[in-house]
A = this chain, B = another copy of it.
Amino acid sequence: MGRPTIADIAERVGVSKGAVSFALNGRPGVAEATRARILQVAKEMNWRPHSAARALGGARAEAVGLVIARPASTLGVEPFFAQLLSGLQAGLSAQSVAMHLMIVEDAEAEMEVYRDWASAHRVDGFIMVDLKVRDPRVEVLEELGVPAVVLGGPGRHGSLSSVWADDREAMLSVVDYLAALGHRRVAHVAGLPEFRHTQRRMRALRDSSRRLGLVDAVSLTTDFSDAEGAAATRALLSRRLRPTAIVYDSDVMALAGLGVAGEMGVRVPDELSVVAFDDSVLTRIAHPSITALSRDTFAYGRKLAEVMLEVVADPGRRRELKTETPRLIVRESTAPPGSWQAD
């Protein structure tokens, strides 16, 4: 005999399948004594629910889906993502909800997987990451009528719930700080231009540019790789009037930028200040250590899980949760611009 079923239990206890089901799910309809006996036997026989059978009946799948459309080989590089995943898992595991993960080539494939998993009741909801500027995935998820939470925002994700951090506010705090130190030529090595949060950061820099009297506040977009981060830095430091401060959209790129500065003989922080979005072991370990916008990414992931579970529990609901704005952790890589500096 394979795994025991409730029918086996029913037979052994001498009751019907229905009674066993009631007992195992803690609902009324069985006497306490019977319930106890059933639970006892179920334990003895080492019974476990068959989730597929439950799912057929329309119950929860006890799993959420996460589909990521990125070249898989680049995923491993970002500490941010792994941390987020960890936090997400922690939040879900607490409720014994598993995660269905799949990495695909592009957004088309991603939407196809959404459709598949949704109609197969494989998952109770989806988590969508890397929100783009005009993102067709939002519409697909809305159509499917499956609970979904978008990482990123605010706005432009229709009726879906979202969890986000204020990238604009974060960028402003960086620029304000740099301006206060006396920097006027601040550059920005940004991430992928189609990402919503990249746009918000770029706009924030542009906007504060006037207010703070910055000159030549430029954003160069990259694919988040250390290679492009380094290339962008080289370009910036090769200008006739080079920036006195560079803000990087990720810790990996900031570290790469630091390397380029070293290679070009530009001293950090004397001649160049460096700030990283996203804090991690990288920024702490670097020499000089890097001033970074720090947030508790693990907690961020856990919040995401929390909202996901809420939306699954009450599908009518729509939540929009703004998390703590990243705080600036000042380390060795920032200082007032050097006095040698012609302005």
User: A93 — which chain B residues lie within 8 A by C-beta?
Assistant: 72, 102-104
Interface residues of A in 250-269 (CB under 8 A from B): 252, 255-256, 258-259, 262
Contact of A85 among B61, B63, B75, B285 (CB under 8 A): B75
CB distance from A334 to the nearest CB of B (A): 18
Contact of A281 among B77, B119, B121 (CB under 8 A): B77
CB distance from A301 to the nearest CB of B (A): 9
CB distance from A76 to the nearest CB of B (A): 3
A98–B65 Cα gap in the complex (Å)? 10
**Does A101 lie at the interface of the complex (its beta carbon under 8 Å from any beta carbon of B)?**
yes
User: A280 — which chain B residues lie within 8 A by C-beta?
Assistant: 76-77
In the complex, the answer to whether A99 meets B98 with C-beta atoms within 8 Å is no
Interface residues of A in 202-250 (CB under 8 A from B): 226
CB distance from A286 to the nearest CB of B (A): 8
User: A80 — which chain B residues lie within 8 A by C-beta?
Assistant: 76
**Does A126 lie at the interface of the complex (its beta carbon under 8 Å from any beta carbon of B)?**
no
In the complex, the answer to whether A48 meets B102 with C-beta atoms within 8 Å is no
In the complex, the answer to whether A121 meets B52 with C-beta atoms within 8 Å is yes
A-B contact pairs, 13 of them (CB 8 A): A73-B86, A73-B90, A76-B83, A77-B82, A79-B79, A86-B103, A92-B102, A98-B100, A98-B101, A98-B117, A252-B281, A259-B287, A262-B287
